[in-house]
Every structure is written in structure tokens, then in C-alpha cells.
């Protein structure tokens, strides 16, 4: 539970940002008093709903807790767009006169544009976030790949974030779609949940229905550690999935061998030093000659250690592809890759944009995905 000082700091910052939006936009709406009043009311509600939604989990009573979370997350999504667009509007109003644009109606028109864009982007972002993720096909060229492994398929899902706004029905639809792919292997690369096993076990139960030739494999993400990782590891294993924590298994596929390793989340040592993420340890005791070495690692920044350890392919998530502007601009400050297929020396790294979403139910220019990766001869 955050300290009172931390809560007060967040509330003061949130209040200041809402006030700033009001100061930037409301004067221009003086010609439309009703719209000016509605904007002021929305800013007040948003200021109240966002912290209520973030703290909704401390309320044990349902459905009140989830309803507060929904209201708060929706308000956060609208606020985010409104804040960014308000700043962009202010920049335009400063620059346009230097470009010879002088129009007394510009402050009003630009304010109306900000309101329409914030509302429109929030609606489109909501639809994008809540619809079932599309299947993205990716070929991974592997040098000296045995013929037996040519066409080997991996279905990857990641960052579903089962929690206050994502429930059993959402996950059920994902599982059903993954099963239609008839993949050779299923990989779940972390951040499955936001909440405790006690709260969410009924909603993660569909994972037991995942079907593939060689089973389903799971690695922890940072959000599992926020939600009591040991309990979630036990629960995921109870559902019949293989959890890989700095360890590996060797699969035999039509006579060829494929090593599947998994590491704990990159930040796991902050919660338990014994679970420090270690790609090298994940290979300990492995056979000297396997055709392909696959690593499941929640965060792309595990790639440097994975390349040094000698893996051929790393599957990651964590970034959500940025989820929506402007957060995509900040991902490179922490992670080497935001989305898609990248190369680091002899290692291929595929970063999923995620199959669910976190926080606001909003995705713009970063669609969710169920990834079908196919090994092919380079």
C-alpha cells in the first residue's frame, strides 16, 4: 500500500495537471458557456476518478471495486490524450504567428479540435484494446536448421494483464483463437495478471484449455512479482503449464532437438535475489548439440545476456508496443526494442506488442497480437 506522502504527492501532481488543462483550454471556450462548464465538470470528475480507480483494488467489495477501476482507467485514457493534445495546441499557437498565420478564431477552433481528437482517440483506442487480438505471422530464419524443424510453429501470447478490466471471457477468447492455430508450442511471456490468485484464479482458468503438440510454457513478468509471484507460479503449474525459471527443457520433434529455456523477469532480483534472471543459468546442464535454442524472457533487455549465452531466438513482451501515444516514445529509454523482429549479433529477438493491455483500455497505433512464429531455414 503506498504511503500517505506518496498518495498526497500523486494527488497534488494530478490536480496541477488537470488545472493546467483547464487554464489552457477553458478561456477559449468563453463563447460557448455550456461547453466550458462541461469541460470544467469533466476535469473535476477526472481528478476524482483516476485515483479512485487506481486505489479501487483495496476495496474488497464487488462489483464496486471493478466498477471504480473501470471508471478510473477510462478517465485516465481520456486525460492522457487531453493533456498531450493541450500541450501540442499551445505549441501550435506559439509557432503559427511566426509562420504568418493570424486568425482570432484560432484559439477556439484549436480547443474544439483538441476536445474532438481526445474523445475520438479514446473511443478508437477503447475498441482497439477490447477487441480480440489479431494473429501476426512471423518467419524466423535459422541457419543450419534441420529439415525436421522447418515450419515448426510457436504461438506466443504476452502481457494479457488479467485484472480489474480483463476477465475470464477476454482470456477465453484468446485461448480459443490460439488453439485454432494448432501450434507446435505455446509460449506465454509474462505479465499474465494484475492481482492475487485468490481474486483472479477463476479468470485465469481458461489457460488449462491451451492445446499444442509440445505443450504451453510460461515465464514470469514484472507484474507477477507485484502480485505474489510464488503463488502465481504454483497456480500456473496447477493449470498444467510448464513454468521455466532460469531452466530449460529439450524437446524432440520428428527426430530433431529443440531447447526451450525461460528466465525469471529481468527485475525479479528486486523481489527475491534467489530468482535473479540468468540466461546462462537457464542453459546449465543442456546437451552440447541442439538444433535451436529458444529463450522466453519477459523483457527485451534480457537480449544482451541471451546473445552472450548462445541462444538463437528470444521471445519477449513487456513493452505493449508503447500501447498509445506518447508512451511509445518512452519505451526506448528502458528497452532496446519496442516491437517486432530485431537482430542482436547471432540472436533473433521478437518483441510482442502484447495480447491484452495495461491501465487504460486504450490502444493506438500499437495493436494487440497473438503471434505465430515459424522457424524456417535461413
Domains of the chain and CATH, by start: 4-130 (no CATH), 135-377 (3.60.21.10)
pLDDT at position 62 is 83
Model pTM score? 0.95
pLDDT of the residue at 251: 98
Dihedral angle over CA of 20, 24, 27, 28, nearest 10: -150
pLDDT in tens, 37-59: 999 999 999 999 999 888 777 77
Average of pLDDT values for 129-154? 98
Decide which of 7 and 159 is more confident: 159
Give the DSSP letter of residue 346: T
Helices (H), ranges, 186-276: 197-204, 222-226, 229-238
Per the prediction, the chain carries an average pLDDT of 96
- Helical H segments across the chain, by residue range: 4-25, 33-54, 64-95, 106-130, 168-180, 197-204, 222-226, 229-238, 279-282, 303-309
Quote the pLDDT of residue 1: 54
What mean pLDDT comes out for the span 90-95? 96
Per-residue pLDDT band for 2 (boundaries 50, 70, 90) equals low
Cell numbers given for 330 = 518512452
Q: How confident is the model at residue 61 (pLDDT cuts 50, 70, 90)?
A: confident
Amino acid at each position: 500500500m503506498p504511503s500517505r506522502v506518496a498518495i498526497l504527492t500523486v494527488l497534488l501532481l494530478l490536480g496541477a495537471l488537470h488545472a493546467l488543462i483547464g487554464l489552457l483550454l477553458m478561456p477559449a471556450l468563453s463563447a460557448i458557456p455550456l461547453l466550458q462548464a462541461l469541460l470544467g465538470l469533466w476535469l473535476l470528475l477526472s481528478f476524482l476518478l483516476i485515483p479512485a480507480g487506481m486505489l479501487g483494488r483495496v476495496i474488497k467489495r464487488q462489483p464496486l471495486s471493478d466498477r471504480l477501476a473501470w471508471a478510473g482507467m477510462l478517465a485516465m485514457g481520456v486525460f492522457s490524450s487531453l493533456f498531450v493534445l493541450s500541450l501540442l495546441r499551445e505549441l501550435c499557437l506559439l509557432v503559427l504567428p511566426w509562420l504568418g498565420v493570424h486568425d482570432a478564431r484560432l484559439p477556439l477552433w484549436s480547443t474544439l479540435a483538441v476536445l474532438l481528437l481526445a474523445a475520438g482517440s479514446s473511443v478508437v483506442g477503447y475498441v482497439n484494446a477490447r477487441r480480440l487480438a489479431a494473429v501476426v505471422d512471423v518467419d524466423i530464419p535459422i541457419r543450419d536448421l534441420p529439415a525436421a524443424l522447418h515450419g515448426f510453429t510457436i504461438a506466443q501470447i504476452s502481457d494479457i494483464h488479467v485484472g480489474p478490466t480483463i476477465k475470464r471471457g477476454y482470456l477465453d477468447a484468446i485461448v480459443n483463437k490460439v488453439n485454432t492455430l494448432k501450434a507446435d508450442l505455446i509460449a506465454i511471456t509474462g505479465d499474465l495478471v494484475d492481482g492475487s490468485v485468490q481474486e483472479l484464479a477463476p479468470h485465469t482458468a481458461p489457460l488449462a484449455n491451451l492445446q499444442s503438440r509440445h505443450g504451453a510454457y510460461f515465464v514470469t513478468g514484472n507484474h507477477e512479482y507485484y502480485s505474489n509471484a510464488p503463488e502465481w507460479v504454483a497456480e500456473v503449474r496447477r493449470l498444467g503449464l510448464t513454468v521455466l525459471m532460469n531452466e530449460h527443457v529439450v524437446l524432440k520433434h520428428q527426430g530433431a532437438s529443440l531447447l526451450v529455456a525461460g528466465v525469471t523477469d529481468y527485475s525479479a532480483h528486486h523481489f527475491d535475489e534467489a530468482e535473479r534472471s540468468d540466461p546462462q543459468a537457464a542453459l546449465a546442464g543442456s546437451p552440447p548439440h541442439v538444433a535451436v535454442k529458444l529463450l522466453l524472457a519477459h523483457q527485451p533487455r534480457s537480449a544482451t545476456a541471451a546473445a552472450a549465452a548462445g541462444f538463437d531466438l528470444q521471445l519477449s513482451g513487456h513493452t505493449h508496443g508503447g500501447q498509445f501515444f506518447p508512451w511509445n516514445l518512452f519505451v526506448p529509454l528502458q528497452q532496446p526494442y519496442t516491437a517486432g523482429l530485431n537482430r542482436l549479433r547471432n540472436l533473433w529477438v521478437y518483441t510482442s506488442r502484447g495480447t491484452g493491455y495495461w491501465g487504460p483500455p486504450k490502444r493506438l497505433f500499437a495493436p494487440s497480437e497473438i503471434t505465430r512464429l515459424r522457424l524456417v531455414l535461413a
